[in-house]
């Protein structure tokens, strides 16, 4: 563990070492190679240049917006400027295989932005699994109101892993007399639910729904549908 993480606070909170960053770069390269060979929903063996480019732009935008923190919780987690939405939108455009791979890559990126690390299993749960769960949105890409359903499913997936992490790794932080399960449920809902509600309000604006549907159609080289299917 000391090869990749070091305790810089003296209180059991870790940061990456040089070896950790090298491992991170290796995982990112591996993730990109895996993404390039995923089978797409159209049956083709590799992602197209357009799919790679569009997904990369969405990940980059989510990455930038994740640094615009409206509220930051004391032990990890924050309300950001709709950053989760752009990861779930990849799933709405291209389906689950692409969205899960993109969400996994996004989780790796989040590991280098002021991570809160107490152990390797916690790191995997909070950053790899939790953010990869946003890719669940891709399973709703062909359903009516798929963007709404996918976004909610992705956020709930991330919430599930965040709650699990709270119960397993941060139970000692629960106030005296409060169940660690209840504490984790409330703590993680305090930031994820706020961002989800704000995002859903924006998505309900008709011009936003129409624009997102149009972008999806253009990203897939198909004619714009007469009715928005978000």
Domain boundaries, the chain: 5-219
Residues 145 and 230 sit within 8 Å (Cβ to Cβ): yes
Q: Would you give per-residue pLDDT tens digits along the chain (230 residues)?
A: 555 666 665 666 667 676 766 776 677 667 666 655 554 444 455 667 788 889 999 999 999 999 899 988 877 788 999 999 999 999 999 999 889 988 988 998 888 776 778 888 898 899 989 999 999 999 999 888 999 999 999 999 999 999 999 999 999 989 999 999 999 999 999 999 999 999 999 999 999 999 998 988 888 875 544 444 44
Single out the residue of 87, 98, 163 nearest to residue 125, CA to CA.
163
What is the per-residue pLDDT across 167-193, written as a single tens digit (0 to 9) for each?
Answer: 999 999 899 999 999 999 999 999 999
Q: Which CATH number fits domain 5-219: 3.40.630.190, 1.10.1760.20, 3.50.50.60, 1.20.120.420?
A: 1.10.1760.20
Which DSSP symbol is given to 46? S
Work out the widest C-alpha separation in the chain, in whole angstroms. 60
SS3 93: helix
Q: How many helices (H) and strands (E) does the chain have?
A: 9, 4
pLDDT, one tens digit per residue, over 26-61 is 776 676 666 555 544 444 556 677 888 899 999 999
118: Cβ contacts below 8 Å, ≥ 6 apart:
12, 13, 14, 169, 170
Q: Positive or negative CA dihedral for 115, 164, 34, 6? A: positive
């Amino acid at each position: 563990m000391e090869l990749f993480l070091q305790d810089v606070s003296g209180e059991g909170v870790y940061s990456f070492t040089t070896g950790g960053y090298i491992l991170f770069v290796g995982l990112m390269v591996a993730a990109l190679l895996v993404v390039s060979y995923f089978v797409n929903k159209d049956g083709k063996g590799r992602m197209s240049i357009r799919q790679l480019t569009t997904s990369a732009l969405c990940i980059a935008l989510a990455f930038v917006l994740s640094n615009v923190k409206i509220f930051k919780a004391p032990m990890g987690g924050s309300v950001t400027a709709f950053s989760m939405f752009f990861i779930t939108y990849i799933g709405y455009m291209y389906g689950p295989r692409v969205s899960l791979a993109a969400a996994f890559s996004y989780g790796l990126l989040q590991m280098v932005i002021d991570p809160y690390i107490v152990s390797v299993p916690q790191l995997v749960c909070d950053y790899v699994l939790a953010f990869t769960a946003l890719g669940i949105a891709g399973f709703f890409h062909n359903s009516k109101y798929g963007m709404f359903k996918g976004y909610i499913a992705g956020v709930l997936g991330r919430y599930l892993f965040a709650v699990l992490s709270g119960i397993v790794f941060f139970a000692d932080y629960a106030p005296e007399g409060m169940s660690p399960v209840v504490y984790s449920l409330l703590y993680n809902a305090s930031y994820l639910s706020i961002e989800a509600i704000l995002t859903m309000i924006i998505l309900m604006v008709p011009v936003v729904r129409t624009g997102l549907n149009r972008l999806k159609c253009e990203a897939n080289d198909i004619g714009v549908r007469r009715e928005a299917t978000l």
